[in-house]
DNA sequence: ACCTGAACACCGTTCAAGT
DNA sequence: ACCTGAACACCGTTCAAGT
């Protein structure tokens, strides 16, 4: 027979659901979507579920533990193509498919870039990715090429995360102002191009060039 | 005839040199070398020159103003090759020459990656870099290729900055433990390779592959 | 076991007051 | 003009005390 305390104490009497790791992580995911992984505080997280900061420690751990749990969930959402595709298509689909997911959770891409394979949820897809390149005939270089492709994608998305609207606005003004500067023709060309193509797909361009570079290693 | 106050007040009487923007920035550069651009506090900086935090505000401005001044100084240290070199050699020398400088000022590379051409001291070299690619015959794509090459170098160095000894150590352990895992052959190959080549030059490999990718655009 | 509420040692920034 | 010293509104984290 449950005592009063065992079915919920002051929280349930106040109409609040019991704090669970699941609820903490869900609130952290929501805060990450809105503010980015590094831009919410434990106190915000606690307030979001109507709890005291110390309760987060009791149920999940310190901020780092919450962040790890968020990472795990986001990585689980990342789509992975069928591994029988040609290697180039496979990586193109993989990384262009990851971008929109990672961009909705700002800050996660940077964690992946810095911690890489240390994020356990990443293991199965890395295993798969190295396999795709080895079957393509890249030999030992498969490890380097795989690391490079994943890292470049993560890093590039991480920078997109960090470029807030303020920076994008100031960049747009700069590009417009550089258009007519014959004294610096290279910068003028840059201003002209980026002023006319403000949403140019640098991610796709970089991915294509790196894939070209890896393809060239298979031809030799 | 100078009054007592005008030649220095309590600081000079205490044997301390007057606070100047120059001295503030030099102390900030030293802190950045030791802890990284985002890992020192304004209070540390103030203490470093024997001053109160409010004095930094009086002479330089807020933390962001100090960071901008640090950026400017570090960018001024970056070597730039003669612009008559072949484009590929020019970029290889440029970016491999930047890496050791940027690595001694952790956090600067990330600022460059995120703010790019918004760092004024970067303008002349960007102008030069676009010119090198245009003279090589890359046309309008010069802007994209230049942005890509600089960004990938900055991002890759930024991640090196953020991978402290703790992370590198845990990664080394992971690689060793993955060596003998026939159930995940791709990860095993990765563990074997990185365990035997812990200091593999991923920066150089990435730079070479991207340069290959850009070179392929010139052939077509 | 779970939650409360205060406390600790920080942070960037501001500001009235001194000299 | 330059510096002092306290204050403000934060932060992550810890902990004794309540129920």
Residues A7-15: what's their mean pLDDT?
A: 76
Interface test with B, best of A190, A196, A214 (most B CBs within 10 A): A190
Q: Is the CB of A64 under 7 A from strand D?
A: yes
For chain B, what is the domain count?
2
What is the pLDDT, as a whole number, of residue B13? 81
Q: A110-123 pLDDT, tens per residue?
A: 999 999 999 999 99
What is the pLDDT, as a whole number, of residue B7? 52
pTM for this one? 0.96
Q: What angle do CA A101, A106, A109 make, to 5 degrees?
A: 70
Q: Is the CB of A5 under 7 A from strand D?
A: yes
Q: State the Cα–Cα distance between residues B80 and B77, nearest whole angstrom.
A: 9
pLDDT classification of B15: cutoffs 50, 70, 90: confident
Give contacts of A187 with chain B, Cβ < 8 Å. Answer: 117, 123, 126-127, 130
CATH number of the domain that B87 lies in? Answer: 1.10.357.10
Range of the domain at B142: 82-219
Q: What is the total residue count of chain B?
A: 220
Residue A149 distance to chain B (closest CA, Å): 9
In a domain, B202, yes or no: yes
Of all protein residues, which has its CA closest to the C1' atom of D3?
B55
Interchain proximity B148–A209, CB inside 8 Å? yes
Minimal Cβ distance to B189: which of A114, A130, A167: A130
Of A44, A73, A102, the one marking the end of a domain is A73
Residue B110 scores a pLDDT above 90: yes
Residue B220 scores a pLDDT above 80: no
| Same domain (yes/no): A109, A186 | yes
In a domain, B97, yes or no: yes
Residue A7 scores a pLDDT above 60: no
Q: B154-204 pLDDT, tens per residue?
A: 999 999 999 999 999 999 999 999 999 999 999 999 999 999 999 999 999
The residue assigned the tokens 């290693």 is A217
| Same domain (yes/no): B144, B178 | yes
Residue B6 scores a pLDDT above 80: no
The residue assigned the tokens 């990284």 is B36
Tell me the DSSP string of chain A: ---TGGG--HHHHTTPPPP-HHHHHHHHHHHHHHH-TTS--HHHHHHHTT--HHHHHHHT-SHHHHHHHHHHHHHHH-----TTS-HHHHHHHHHHHHHHHHHHSTTHHHHHHHHGGGSGGGHHHHHHHHHHHHHTT-TTHHHHHHHHHHHHHHHHHHHHHH--HHHHHHHHHHHHHHTT-TTSHHHHHHHHHHHH-TT--HHHHHHHHHHHHHHHHHH-
The bases of strand D with some atom under 7 A from any protein CB are 1-7, 10-16, 18-19
Residues B143-162: what's their mean pLDDT?
A: 98
In a domain, A1, yes or no: no
In a domain, B41, yes or no: yes
Minimal Cβ distance to B209: which of A130, A148, A200: A148
Q: B22-69 pLDDT, tens per residue?
A: 999 999 999 999 999 999 999 999 999 999 999 999 999 999 999 999
Q: Nearest chain A Cα to B185, which residue?
A: A127
| Same domain (yes/no): A43, A86 | no
In a domain, A195, yes or no: yes
CATH number of the domain that B41 lies in? Answer: 1.10.10.60
In a domain, B3, yes or no: no
């Amino acid at each position: 027979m449950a005592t009063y305390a065992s079915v919920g104490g002051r929280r349930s009497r106040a109409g609040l659901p019991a704090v669970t790791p699941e609820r903490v992580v869900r609130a952290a995911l929501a805060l990450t979507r809105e503010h980015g992984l590094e831009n919410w505080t434990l106190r915000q997280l606690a307030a979001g579920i109507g709890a005291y900061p110390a309760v987060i420690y009791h149920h999940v751990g310190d901020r780092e533990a919450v962040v790890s749990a968020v990472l795990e969930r986001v990585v689980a959402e990342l789509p992975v193509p069928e591994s029988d595709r040609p290697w180039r298509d496979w990586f193109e689909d993989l990384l262009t498919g990851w971008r929109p997911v990672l961009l909705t959770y700002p800050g996660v891409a940077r964690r992946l870039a810095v911690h890489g394979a240390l994020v356990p949820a990443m293991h199965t897809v890395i295993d798969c990715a190295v396999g795709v390149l080895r079957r393509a005939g890249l030999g030992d270089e498969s490890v380097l090429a795989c690391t490079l492709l994943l890292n470049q994608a993560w890093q590039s998305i991480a920078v997109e995360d960090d470029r807030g609207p303020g920076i994008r606005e100031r960049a747009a003004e700069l590009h417009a102002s550089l258009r007519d500067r014959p004294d610096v023709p290279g910068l003028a060309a840059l201003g002209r191009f980026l002023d006319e193509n403000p949403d140019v797909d640098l991610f796709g361009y970089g991915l294509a060039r790196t894939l070209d570079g890896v393809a060239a290693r298979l031809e030799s």
